[in-house]
Amino acid sequence: MKLKIENSKLKIFTKQKGMSLFIAVVIMSILLFISFVVINISAKSNIFATSGRDSQYAFYAADAGLECAIYWDSKYNSFSTSTASSIVCANQSISTNTVIAGTSTLALVGGGGNTNPSVFGFVLNTGSNPVSHCAIVTVRKYYSGSNLMTYIKSRGYNTCDTNNPRRLERGVEVTY
């Protein structure tokens, strides 16, 4: 380090020119990295929370399908014969040869047998949510010994769009 006095002013000459710029760049890089990590964690937390919500929607859709099938089976015995009948779920009339929402499959209401089960589906309107939820239900009647058994499998989806990469399926089954 050299000292030079010139016109009563003290000047310090150092060989460390640009060191403060280097320190500023390093500190900014560290802060930028920390910001990136925090934003990444926040985005993944948001996706995780959204998938939990969508999982509940899919489960509730499956439960609604199950309840609808149990109601129509216990009250009107709608699935016991091969005679085509019509049922109403979520304020939608469902009859044979209607396309099941979220699929290209045609509904068969009143299939009435082990080899020809009833299959139907419907869309649930969730009010202010812009995404519709679907349920697809299979009802099969069969004999176990001398007892007539009913098997119901209901699959619920958080969205009816089959191309959505975040489409979730939840299922509920019951035998009685």
Contacting residues for 172 by C-beta, under 8 A, at least 6 apart: 59, 62, 63, 65, 66, 153, 154, 156
**3-class SS letters over 81-141:** CCCCCEEEECCEEEECCCECCCCCCECECCCCCCCCCEEEEEEECCCCCCCCEEEEEEEEE
| Residue span of the structural domain in which 116 resides | 28-175
Instruction: Establish if 113 belongs to a structural domain.
Output: yes
Instruction: Establish if 5 belongs to a structural domain.
Output: no
Question: Given a cut of 90, is residue 104 above it in pLDDT?
Answer: no
Instruction: Establish if 134 belongs to a structural domain.
Output: yes
Q: Look at residue 101 in the predicted model and tell me its pLDDT.
A: 83
Q: pTM for this one? A: 0.76
pLDDT tens for each residue of 147-165: 989 999 999 999 999 999 9
Instruction: Establish if 39 belongs to a structural domain.
Output: yes
The total domain count for the chain is 1
Instruction: Pick 7 or 30 by higher pLDDT.
Output: 30
What's the pLDDT band for 10 if we cut at 50, 70, 90? low
Structure tokens at 103: 């699929």
131, 105 Cβ separation under 8 angstroms: no
116, 139 Cβ separation under 8 angstroms: no
Instruction: Pick 128 or 62 by higher pLDDT.
Output: 62
* Chain-centre distance for alpha carbon 125: 15
